[in-house]
Amino acid sequence: MQLVDIGANLTHDSFDRDRDEVLARARAAGVAQLVVTGASREHSPLALELAQRHPGMLYATAGVHPHHASEYTDECDAEMRALHAHPQVVAVGECGLDYFRDFSPRPAQRRAFERQLQIGADTAKPLFLHQRDAHADFMAIMKDFDGRLGPAVVHCFTGTREEMFDYLDNDWYIGITGWLCASAAARTCASW
């Protein structure tokens, strides 16, 4: 069986010393492709660079995690849009809301999330989403984009049963404890 990892944080500096070995072990374990997560202005271009160095095996997302939402300016939006012009960038995100830690003010998180969803609407690319302790605002913002977005994964799901069904009722996928649900993996990855 071949696997696809759609949320590999390979731009993190902890991989600097053994990134190639990690990729070799992934291949040996049956991982055919990985999508490298871009979650900040700094790391989204690095995700693309990695994907370009490993064509056919690595792809990238480009986005700004809610922890970094304060850095989402007009200039940042232009940078994200430029990254999305590359075919190796296959999804928008990681973006969303995180009220658990509030590393960025909530209004900044909501603005950054909305702007990145607009990129998703403009490009028709899938979404790689984050939500923690912000379900009501998350759902309200997503509703504003109803019918204009492609497939979405809310990864590392930690919410309630009701929240899970809100996502599933919208045909969004969920990732549980870092692993995408097997039934959704084939459909999601096939669309990417």
Residues 192 and 86: their CA atoms lie apart, in Å, by 14
Q: Is the alpha carbon torsion for 102, 105, 110, 114 positive or negative?
A: negative
Residue 167's φ and ψ, nearest 5 degrees, are: -70, -50
**Coil, helix or strand at residue 156:** strand
Pairing mode, strands 89-98 and 31-36: unpaired
- The structure tokens 């809610």 sit at 66
Residues 129 and 112: their CA atoms lie apart, in Å, by 12
pTM flag (> 0.85):
yes
The tokens for 22 are 């990690």
Domain count across the chain: 1
* Nearest one of 97, 120, 126 to 185, comparing CA atoms: 126
CATH code for position 134: 3.20.20.140
Residues 5 and 121: their CA atoms lie apart, in Å, by 24
Confidence (pLDDT) at 175: 86
Domain range enclosing 37: 3-191
Eight-state DSSP code of residue 37: P
What is the chain's pLDDT, residue by residue, as a tens digit (192 residues)? 889 999 999 999 999 999 999 999 999 999 999 999 999 999 999 999 999 999 999 999 999 999 999 999 999 999 999 999 999 999 999 999 999 999 999 999 999 999 999 999 999 999 999 999 999 999 999 999 999 999 999 987 888 999 999 999 999 999 875 444 443 443 344 444
* Nearest one of 68, 60, 80, 150 to 104, comparing CA atoms: 68
